[in-house]
Structure 1
């Protein structure tokens, strides 16, 4: 059984993510009894994960600020500020930020996907190693460990 959990901003883990962006772990599976993960991306223009699908969780993305192109299967859509999308598991998808910056809220259920971000990313509370980047190999290994399937390059 889950219990209420308060995650103040100063206690949320911030991870360096793709292209120098930040993924903040707002609520993880430990805090929600495995029910969900809530995270927030603060990223720059051009940030785009590989085209991928989730095998373990359904995902909801809300674009709090900015604009992006979104691909779901073979369909391309524009996602504008305030737009929200539901991405069921096993549906290939990806996005590319088209504004100078973007603020995206992600909710995944059940929880656990935060482990992928923690494995491949870097905790911003620790010193940044010179030349740090998330290699394709590190991203692929983390994706595989957490039930993500990379089906193509970023779009």
Structure 2
């Protein structure tokens, strides 16, 4: 991918390994200057979860591709399975925990090309 190429190929992107899984960033404002959204995937290992975190500069949509999870959003916990999507408003604390024997694979989309994650715990955020 080049700065002017609108396509993020299979081999493109930035992989961010964490203790609970990994994030793969395919489209960001840094990788594609001028991008007004962030797009990537989130993989969470069975039984693991990401840290309680929030995004002060954008909202997020998480779409479950495979596996299942419980998703804490504010004070509520939602059960999610493939085909389910959740809208996470700006500044709302949240996390996802994989509840299936297989890893959770989710698409994650943010309303800003320059997303920020604020970690509210001491472990890896998202």
- Calculate the TM-score normalised by the size of structure 1: 0.68
Q: What pairs with 1:1-155 in structure 2 (closer than 5 Å)?
A: 5-19=6-20, 21-30=21-30, 31=32, 33-100=34-101, 101-113=103-115, 146=116, 148-150=118-120
Partners of 1:33 and 1:86 lie apart in 2 by 24
Contact 1:37–1:107 at 8 Å: present in 2 too?
Answer: yes
Partners of 2:86 and 2:95 lie apart in 1 by 12
Higher radius of gyration, 1 or 2: 1
Q: Which moved more, 1:46-55 or 1:60-69?
A: 46-55
Contact 2:62–2:109 at 8 Å: present in 1 too?
Answer: yes
The total of aligned residue pairs comes to 120
Partners of 1:147 and 1:77 lie apart in 2 by 21
- Calculate the TM-score normalised by the size of structure 2: 0.82
Q: How much does 1:7 deviate?
A: 0.5
In structure 2, runs of 5+ residues without a counterpart are: none
Contact 2:44–2:97 at 8 Å: present in 1 too?
Answer: no
Runs of 4+ in 1 over 4 A off after TM superposition: 151-154
In structure 1, runs of 5+ residues without a counterpart are: 114-145
Instruction: Pick closer, same or farther for the CA change 1:148–1:96 going to 2, 3 Å.
Output: same
Q: How much does 1:64 deviate?
A: 0.5
Higher helix share: 1
